[in-house]
Amino acid sequence: MKLKEKPTWKELPFACSVPEPGNSVHYKTGDWKTLKPVVDKTKCIKCGTCWIFCPEYAYEEDEYGYYEPNYEYCKGCGICHRECPAQCIIMEEEVVE
Amino acid sequence: MAKRTGIEVSIAIAEAARQANVDVVSAYPITPQTHIVEHLAQLVADGDLDAEYITVESEHTAMSACVGASAAGARVFTSTSSQGLALMNEIVYLASSLRTPVVMALANRSLSGPISIWNDHSDVMNERDTGWISIFANNGQEAYDLTLMAFRIGEDRRVMLPVMINFDGFILTHVIEPMYIFDDEEIADFIPPYEPVCVLDTDNPITMGPVGVPDVYTEAKKQQEIAIRESRPIIEEVFEEFAQRYGRRYEPVETYKADDAEIVLLAQGSVIEAAEVAVDLLREQGRKVGAVELRLWRPFPFDALREVLCGTSIKQVVVLDRCISFGGPIGPVLSEVRSALYLEKDRPMVVGVVAGLGGRDISLEEYVEMFDVGEECLRTGKDSGEETDLVRIVGLRE
């Protein structure tokens, strides 16, 4: 069951509980960021350090073993940029069209 | 039928929790609640109560454990007083907003400072807006009966709210009173097993107590406000069933010789029984006085109070607060009673006094003085303004 985005007080589940496990994926926090991480794949060593450190589980491994941030969830904290041993992640200003 | 036996009120309240067959007790000992939790700890240790007694390092943790246990589907009991309740405060709000029907026996005691272990109502008034159902007992029998009823009220699936039962520290807790204590079989079916609405279960995972972003917080609070407001008829239903079964009747607002009274003293807790002695004395002198007990504090019994006070013989109400609202409208009870009557056309005048702070006894003469305050207001027709806005403390050394 996907909760309505803006339920009335009668529609809100009992005691504001969340009856659906893992539904935080519906809550996209990507628009919080001002800087976004950009991975330079020519330098990336596929170590997965960014994936380990990301507090939002926003990194996803692609079919070639590289890690890419999912910008729908990445809050732009920059921890991956700070921790990357190959220094292949740069933070760029997020520009909204 | 149970027979009347002499029992310490604290022990009787602990026995009520045992008879309700609680699953979890988490509490931290504090004067004057201590005997309640000591007795429960003993019952669990001796195997006389099949419950988890969770020992904790503070009241903050005691209430946290209560909320967690209740969320896991347990019937939960705790008890505290004064500073302990103040320390619990943060989690007290969670118990009501998570709709965990914890039952709390609150041995009312004043708040520091100066440090006072004695009775007044500062502790409960501090929790007025926490969303708990709050009911006052004025003697040991009532404290015992109401503790039993608290489980029925709070755990009713139409309610699902925590309940605090208030009884005066020392004045009641440490008194041995002749009381009717039920045989276990007699009360067993009055309190059916607890069936939670919403429970933490690893097979059906849910989240209780999530972040409430600005888009849902307001709706969550509205839901909670309606829940406590709608608990009112269920509280009366439980009072009624108790009366039918056991013959002892409780009402949200109770009166003593108020039918033809002109001046009434309105109060909560054990002072009511002392005030009744003053009423009798003044009645002998031909004065038309009575007493009104505001038993149900939350949800506030607006209609019942108006029925007693408005359009009746009562011309003047003297509200006795056992707590000062510093820099405010004298005391919380006065403030609420006045507010409840504000829009009524045929309403009595309402004046407030404060007495019995930090365990100070109120003498018979002082109750008479309170009625005299009412008479003076009635004579002058003034129940507000500079003089009456001042906190008038009866029994103060000037």
For residue range B270-306, what is the model confidence (pLDDT) as tens digits?
Answer: 999 999 999 999 999 999 999 999 999 999 999 999 9
**Interface contact flag, A6 B220, Cβ < 8 Å:** no
**Interface contact flag, B99 A14, Cβ < 8 Å:** yes
Confidence at A38, pLDDT banded by 50, 70, 90:
very high
Residues 6+ apart with CB under 8 A from A67: A39, A44, A46, A48, A50, A51, A59, A60, A61
Give the distance from residue A34's alpha carbon to the nearest chain B alpha carbon, in angstroms.
21
pLDDT at B69 > cutoff 60? yes
**Interface contact flag, B205 A21, Cβ < 8 Å:** yes
Packing angle of the helix pair B214-229, B82-97 (nearest 10 deg) = 110
Chain B residues in contact with A14 (beta carbon < 8 A): 99, 160, 197-198
DSSP state of B157: T
Give all strands (DSSP E) within B209-256, no chain letters.
253-256
Give the distance from residue B207's alpha carbon to the nearest chain A alpha carbon, in angstroms.
5
pLDDT score at B340 = 97
For residue range B139-162, what is the model confidence (pLDDT) as tens digits?
Answer: 999 999 999 999 999 999 999 999
* Candidates B198, B210, B218; nearest CB to A14: B198
pLDDT at B109 > cutoff 80? yes
Q: Which of B132, B317, B323, B313 is nearest to B235 (CA)?
A: B132
**Mean pLDDT along residues B35-46:** 98
Q: What is the mean pLDDT of chain B?
A: 96
Element (H, E) at B27: strand B24-27
Number of cross-chain residue pairs from A and B with Cβ atoms under 8 Å apart: 53
Domains for chain B: give ranges and CATH numbers: 3-246 (3.40.50.970), 253-380 (3.40.50.920)
Answer whether B188 touches A (CB < 8 Å): no
**Interface contact flag, B99 A15, Cβ < 8 Å:** yes
Confidence at A23, pLDDT banded by 50, 70, 90:
confident
pLDDT at A22 > cutoff 90? no
Chain A residues in contact with B226 (beta carbon < 8 A): 9
Chain B residues in contact with A28 (beta carbon < 8 A): none
Interface confidence (ipTM) of the complex: 0.86
DSSP, residue by residue, B314-334:
--EEEEEESS--TTSSS-HHH
CA distance A91 to B298: 54
Checking phi first, is residue B124 left (phi over 0); if not, alpha (psi -120 to 50) or beta? alpha
**Interface contact flag, B99 A21, Cβ < 8 Å:** no
Residues 6+ apart with CB under 8 A from B298: B128, B131, B132, B133, B134, B228
**Interface contact flag, B98 A15, Cβ < 8 Å:** yes
Q: B219, B221, B222, B230: which to substitute to probe chain A, counting the most A Cβ within 10 Å?
A: B219
